């Protein structure tokens, strides 16, 4: 039985990867940070009572800022594969917490690599490092001849998150070459799902669209609506992570869809899943999205609130506080190498991703609607 260790196990990718590896027959160890509140929602359905027999999923308290803790966990678990998914991964917030991001996302990667080296597991343990498309910075001159970012495109990070991740990328390559370790970078472009964190733009959009449709919220506030991203489904991307560590030689791979979409169009697609057509007008901070059409039959079937969902209502506005000090306007990845060498083929396109997220969030928000109808209190989630 193969043994895997996952940092960031309670996150979107950690949850999907845990489920994927358990189905493959792995014993999975996950590292979670100690908090005063439960933060295991994404993996609760996978967790087994440790008193049961044949338990193959175990959690450990740990943190990427604690070297001795990581060494102890790796020594105890003796993993065949380590997936370093743990990070402070919110780009906008990284401008507010640059030192913390450097410690976790940059030096945290070094701590994992050094722990494996110190314990003499260089020949046994394969390491996957979660790199990011934010390494490229969205500069036009860094694209390849076809207009994409690939494994050979120069890096130019435009955020403290991207800068920290670039250290993680290079230290992984350095340890691979210096100590002959099987250590790989997966340069993953944006990947989303119903498990995406609530403050990331795609999930913020699908949650807000669902709440607006049910009359639980009146308006969605966003930043740069013209920003373009290469969005895929996290379920597809975690399979690519696994494939990277199954190769004969350690290499770095770009994982992407090769298709780019604006935030504005993602909003349109989300509302369209409710039968609502949103039209945008204005420019920059003055831009807004207004409802211009409603498919009454579809809205009724979905149980939307037609008393609050009205033509002419402004449901999207721009708030400058969500602008980044340095903006990455375009990210578009070239998945050629991952498709040819890994045999990776994504199962979800963007419409399927949006549909999956909207179905899940509409179902989730209906719980709040039912509670309010029963005069129960519900929590408000605001940034």
DSSP code at position 104 = I
Is 376 a catalytic site residue?
no
From first CA to last CA, the distance across the chain in angstroms is: 43
For residue 139, give both structure tokens. Answer: 């500069």
Catalytic residue among 77, 132, 206, 261: 132
Inter-helix orientation angle 201-213/350-373, to 10°:
50
Is 61 a catalytic site residue?
no
Judge contact between 86 and 108, C-beta under 8 A: yes
Phi-psi group of 137: left, alpha or beta (phi > 0 → left; psi -120 to 50 → alpha; rest → beta): left
Residue 371 CA neighbour count, 13 Å, CB half: 11
Nearest to 166 by CA among 113, 107, 112: 107
Is 279 a catalytic site residue?
no
Nearest to 115 by CA among 87, 85, 73: 73
Other beta carbons within 10 Å of 290: 16
Longest dimension (CA), the chain: 66
Judge contact between 172 and 184, C-beta under 8 A: yes
Catalytic residue among 16, 83, 149, 161: 161
Nearest-angstrom CA–CA distance, 104 and 107: 6
Judge contact between 228 and 256, C-beta under 8 A: no
Phi-psi group of 332: left, alpha or beta (phi > 0 → left; psi -120 to 50 → alpha; rest → beta): beta
Catalytic residue among 16, 83, 109, 134: 134
Active-site amino acid positions: 132, 134, 161
């Amino acid at each position: 039985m193969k043994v895997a260790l996952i940092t960031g196990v309670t996150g979107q990718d950690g949850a999907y990867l845990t489920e994927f590896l358990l189905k493959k027959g792995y014993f999975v160890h996950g590292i979670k940070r100690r908090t005063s509140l439960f933060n295991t929602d994404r993996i609760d359905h996978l967790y087994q009572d440790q008193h049961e027999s044949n338990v193959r999923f175990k959690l450990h308290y740990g943190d990427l800022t604690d070297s001795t803790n990581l060494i102890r966990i790796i020594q105890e678990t003796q993993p065949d594969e380590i997936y370093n998914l743990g990070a402070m991964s919110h780009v906008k917030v990284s401008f507010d917490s640059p030192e913390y991001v450097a410690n976790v996302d940059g030096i945290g990667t070094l701590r994992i690599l050094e722990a494996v080296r110190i314990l003499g597991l260089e020949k046994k343990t394969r390491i996957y490092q979660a790199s990011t498309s934010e390494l490229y910075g969205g500069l036009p001159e860094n694209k390849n001849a076809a207009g994409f970012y690939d494994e050979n495109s120069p890096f130019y990070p435009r955020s403290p998150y991207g800068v920290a991740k670039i250290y993680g990328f290079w230290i992984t390559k350095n340890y691979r070459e210096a100590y002959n370790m099987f250590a790989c970078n997966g340069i993953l472009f944006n990947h989303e799902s119903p498990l995406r964190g609530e403050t990331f733009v795609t999930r913020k959009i699908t949650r807000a669209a669902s709440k607006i449709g049910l009359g639980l919220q009146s308006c969605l506030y966003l930043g740069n609506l013209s920003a373009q991203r290469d969005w895929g489904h996290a379920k597809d991307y975690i399979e690519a992570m696994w494939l990277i560590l199954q190769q004969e030689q350690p290499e770095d791979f770009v994982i992407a869809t090769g298709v780019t979409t604006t935030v504005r169009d993602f909003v349109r697609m989300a509302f369209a899943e409710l039968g609502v057509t949103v039209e945008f007008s204005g420019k920059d901070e003055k831009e807004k999205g207004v409802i211009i059409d409603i498919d009454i039959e579809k809205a009724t079937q979905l149980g939307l609130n037609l008393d609050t969902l009205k033509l002419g209502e402004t449901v999207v506005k721009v708030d400058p506080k969500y602008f980044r000090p340095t903006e990455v306007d375009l990210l578009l990845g070239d998945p050629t190498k991952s498709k040819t060498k890994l045999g990776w083929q994504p199962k979800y396109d963007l419409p399927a991703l949006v549909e999956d997220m909207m179905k899940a969030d509409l179902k989730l928000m209906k719980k709040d609607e039912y509670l309010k109808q029963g005069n129960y209190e519900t929590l408000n989630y605001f940034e």
